[in-house]
Every structure is written in structure tokens, then in C-alpha cells.
A and B are shown apart, each in its own frame.
Chain A
Amino acid sequence: MTAATRPDRASHAARIMPGPAAIAEAMLAAGCRFFAGYPMTPFTEVLETMAARLPEVGGVCVNAESELEAVGMAWGAAATGTPAATGSTGQGLSLMQESLAEIVYARLPLVVLNMARAQGDYFQATRGGGHGDYRHLVLAPCDVPEAVELTQLAFHLAEKWRSPVLVMGDYYLAHTHQSVTVAPLDFGPLPPRDWALDGRSGGSGAAKLISPLSDAKQRHAAGRADAGYDLAEFYHRHVAVMERMVAEEPPRAETEFVEDAEVVVVAYGTPGAYVRQAVRELRAEGRRVGYVRPITLVPFPSEIVAAAAAGGRTVAVYENNQGQMLDDVRLAVLGAAPVRFIGGLSLDASGFGIAPDLDVAVLKARIAAVHDAAAPAGDAGHDGRGGAA
């Protein structure tokens, strides 16, 4: 299943756009009116486009003095009910982790972009580097049109659940041009923003409180006008919403050829597009292989992976890191099938550019090796035309 729906023909509204500009236009289409960030490749182009475009629609973009300040500014804007976003690469998001944890607890909608270098930030995105017992949704597009859709979905989900939503991009997404139509997408009704700060302060009788410590002071308890916060009540109420969010939002994944696959490959983001191509070519050559491309990393499509792995097939995991999503795949499969890691950190000299391993021929060889090793003795594991022993 895939969330992406695209016309067969490019409509006349389609334009060839670089990934960062398409993501920026998608943010504007979703209503984003505040953006703050600090330049860092390959996030910089998103910031540049937002700096040029947001003032044209009455919004504000700030080139902050650091990522720490950028997330603080976005936090403040979000508290007023302004659709807001920030972002960086994984390095910059490290600086934001404390604030992101606090924003989750303050229950504020915020879209966060990680234009990542390679895929080393999976744990940062899905486990979080901040404090406390928190989760937020994570979406991982594999190309520009999907990034346009998921970026808009992120704004919807952020507001629906009053929670940060992270969109996980990468170097390739930031440097690929693709034909795409950016138009506002309707994901359904949203609750009113009656929680947003509107300038009315204490003493007005209508002051609101948005804080990671609580949203309601206890008053008149034990004969005092202000008895402070009941943090236990707040945290329990908060985690209940968070649990509902992760449980109710449908996991998304693209799958192909999994029904009769002897090897199912799991990969996300742009590497997922390379794996898709490798699997299609291996299928054409007669090997029974398939793939699952997780589109939501939180919630992870565990049931889709488990279903694809049913029957004791081998599952192979490709990531451009030393094995992070691998843990989630193993948890999904729960020992029902062997899980082989075929990824590994792959970088060019710049440390974030073109990965030598992101080559369809390289991936085909790795997947074929897993497939042929998994084949029963005396069976080449494919239809025999390839002649493997």
C-alpha cells in the first residue's frame, strides 16, 4: 500500500522543482506562516526558499543565530497557534533535542525537517535525544512528490494531535529536481485552536497556559489561591494522548512483490527508491524478491513487515548506517524469519554527498547474495534461468 497518488500525466500545473523548493512550497500550501532555521547543508536550501517566499504570503522567516534559537522561535510561534516549522540536519537537530522534548510535553503543533546526511539519524528521529517519555510521528519520503504530500500531511497531523511531527529527508532529496504539482491537500477537519495563546494575560479571566509543566494551575486548594501544578495528572493525561496518537495513526508503507517473495528487503527514504529499482530488476531476472518501504517511521509499519516476512522468509534490511531501523524490523519479525543486514555507512569524501553503495548494481548483488544463500539445497531459489548453483 502506498499513500502516494500521482496522475499518469504531468498536469500543466506541474513544474520541475528542486526538492527544497518543493518542500518549502508544500509548507506554504499547508498554511505554514513561521519558519526559523540556521544554515547547514543540505538544509540550507529549504531555509533560503522560505526566506524568499514566506514574506510574500504574510509570514515570517528568521535566519536564527543557532539551531537552539531557531527551535525556540518556532516554539513561541507555535504557541500562538501559527502553523510553524523549523529544521536542520541531524547535527542541528541534536541541538534542538531538549526543546523538542519540551514542545512535545507542551502539546504544541510543530513541523520539524531533518534534511539528513546519510541515514545516521534514525534513532534520533524515532527514539529522540531529549528527556522524558515522549514520542512524536516521523514521516520519511523517498522522492520529491512524496515529500510534497508528506510535508503537508505533517502539518495536518501536528495540528490534529498538537504534537511535533518530523519529516525525514536526505541529501538526495535536497539535490534532486522532479516534476511536481504543489497544491493544498485536504486531509480532513481539524479541532479548533482554542488552546492557542491570544495575548490575554493573567487577571483578564481568560489567560491560557501552555507549558511542558502543565496547562492548568490548581487553584483554591488547601485554602490557597494558587496551589501550583499537579504534574502527575498532567503527564498521565499527556501520555494517554500520545499513546492514542501512535496507536490510531495508520502506519504507512509501500510494498511490492511480497506475496511470494523468498527475500523481503526493508529500506526507507531515498535508499528505498534504490532498493525498489534493484528488486524490480531482480524480479525481471527471475529471483523471487520483494520489498517493504516504511513511509511512517513512527508508527513503524510492524504489522506490514511481519506479514511480508510470514512463512519463514528471509528479511534483508538496507540502511545507510550501521543498523538502526534494523532493530525495529527485528522487533516486527520477532524471530519468525532470519533478518540479514545488507547496509552500512556509505559516504563520499564530503561526508554527506553521494553514497557509493547507493548504486542499483551494488544493491542487486547484496540482495541476490541473501536470496541465493537462503534458497533450499539443490534449489537455485529462482526460476533457474539465471543458472545459480
Chain B
Amino acid sequence: MQREILWTGIGGQGIQLATELLAAAAVAEGRHAMFFGSYGGMMRGGNSDTTLVLGDAPVQSPPTIGATWSALVLHPAHAAGTLAKLRPDGLLVANSTLCTDIGGHPGAVVRIPATELATAAGSANAVTMVALGAFAAATRIAALDTLIGLLPEVLPAYRHRHIPANEAALRAGHRAAAPLVDAWAASGAPEEAAV
């Protein structure tokens, strides 16, 4: 079984970091992962996109893909290409604070006021962590505790002072979303988590 997750937003929202965190969590839970990131030259405001593929077997997907099981849209500015790849029955997670019009996706949609919740949790920069927390709650793609436990690993040491803010954002997103689907329902149980 393979799950594709495309993320899109703008520089500064933490797209690359959150993707790496989910990839690390999936690996810690016994799965295989591959992700490819691309971003504009600007530190803030340019596009920031990632392709993440998780699977029970070694991932043979090329680094970029044409169709996805899910999409996380944190900002509408560069989202058109990502939305075009979302399968009709795919899951869309949208940052409703900024994405007021994401078009008519026929599949499931999780609207989460991620910027608002991140600000309330202490850091507007942790917006993608809110979305990741919500995505994890809606899909059980990875356990919240696994994600939180890996923050010290994916954040460089000089950023460790931001761990509490990122943990608070993950928890806020996780509380805000209801279970919707089980991402791995049709797959075997993963190996015992290493974290």
C-alpha cells in the first residue's frame, strides 16, 4: 500500500520541515518514505511544495508524481498545480484561514483554520504543524506521539528552543480534526514504533 501526500504553501510556513517530520514518523513506525522538496528563491512568499510518498514496501516512485491520495494546501498562491493532481476521491486538507476558495473538490475535505490556531498556540510560523496534526488525526497516517517525539531529531539543535511551540501546534491541529479515514486500514500492522 502506498500513500501520496502533496503539500503546497509559501516560504516561511514550514512546509519542508513538516514533510520531513511526517516522513521520519512513518519510517519510525516501520514504513518506507521518500520526499522531494522544491521552493522558490525567496525566503518568504515564494512557492514551497513537497511530494511525500509513504508505503509498506520500498518506495519506487519517482521524486515527483502526477496523481495523489491527499493534498495539504496551506496557502492558495501556488496551489493550482497541486490541486490538479488530487484524485477525485482524494483527501484535501485546507488552511481555511487563508484558503477561502479552494474550488469544488468532490472528495473529502478537512477545513482547518491553521494560521489562526497556530497563532493562538503561540507561533504563526508553526502553521504547517497545525495542518499536520489535523491530517494525522483525520487519517491516522502517523501517531501524534511519534510526531512529537521526533521533533528534536528533525529540528537542528539551534532551533530546539522552538520545540514547545511546534508541539503545541501539532496538538492544536490534532484536537481540531475528527477521525475521517484510516490511511493504513488495508495494510498490515506496522512494526512496533521505534520512538
Contact = CB atoms under 8 A, between A and B. Distances in A.
Interface stretch (B32-40, B109-117, B164-172): B32-40
Contacts of A119: none
Contacts of B32: 9-10, 14, 179
Interface stretch (A90-98, A224-232, A311-319, A352-360): A352-360
Contact of A270 (B20, B59, B62): B62
A277 interface: yes
Nearest to B22: A16
B33 A179 contact: yes
A75 interface: no
A358 B62 contact: yes
Contact of A12 (B38, B57, B194): B194
A358 B66 CA distance: 10
Query: Which of B20, B26, B63 has the most chain A CB within a 10 Å cutoff?
Result: B63
A175 B39 CA distance: 11
B37 A12 contact: no
A178 B34 contact: yes
Nearest to B27: A179
Contacts of A274: 62
A177 B24 CA distance: 10
A277 B58 contact: no
B141 to A, nearest CB: 15
Contacts of B24: 15-16
B163 interface: no
Is chain B's interface secondary structure helix, strand, loop, or mixed overall?
Answer: loop
A176 B27 contact: no
A161 interface: no
A248 interface: no
A16 B62 contact: no
A277 B26 CA distance: 23
Nearest to B194: A12
Contacts of B35: 16, 176-178
A275 to B, nearest CB: 9
Interface in B1-60: 20, 23-24, 26-27, 30-38, 56-60
Contacts of A7: 58
B20 A359 contact: no
A145 B20 CA distance: 17
Contacts of B66: 359-361
Interface in A4-33: 6-10, 12, 14-16
Interface residues on A, range: 20 to 34
Interface string B66-80: 100000000000000
Interface residues of B, number: 27
B61 interface: yes
B27 A273 contact: no
A117 interface: no
Given A10-B27, A14-B27, A270-B62, A178 B33 contact: yes
B100 interface: no
B64 interface: yes
Contact of B57 (A8, A178, A277, A360): A8
B101 interface: no
A130 B157 CA distance: 45
A277 B59 contact: no
Interface in B145-165: none
A300 interface: no
B64 A177 contact: no
B64 A179 contact: no
Contacts of B108: none
Interface in A146-181: 172, 175-179
B56 A9 contact: yes
A9 to B, nearest CB: 6
Q: Which 5 A-B pairs have the closest CB atoms?
A: A274-B62, A273-B62, A6-B58, A179-B27, A12-B194
22 contacts: A7-B58, A8-B56, A8-B57, A9-B30, A9-B191, A12-B30, A12-B191, A172-B36, A172-B62, A172-B63, A175-B36, A175-B38, A175-B63, A176-B34, A176-B35, A177-B35, A178-B59, A179-B23, A270-B62, A273-B60, A273-B63, A277-B65
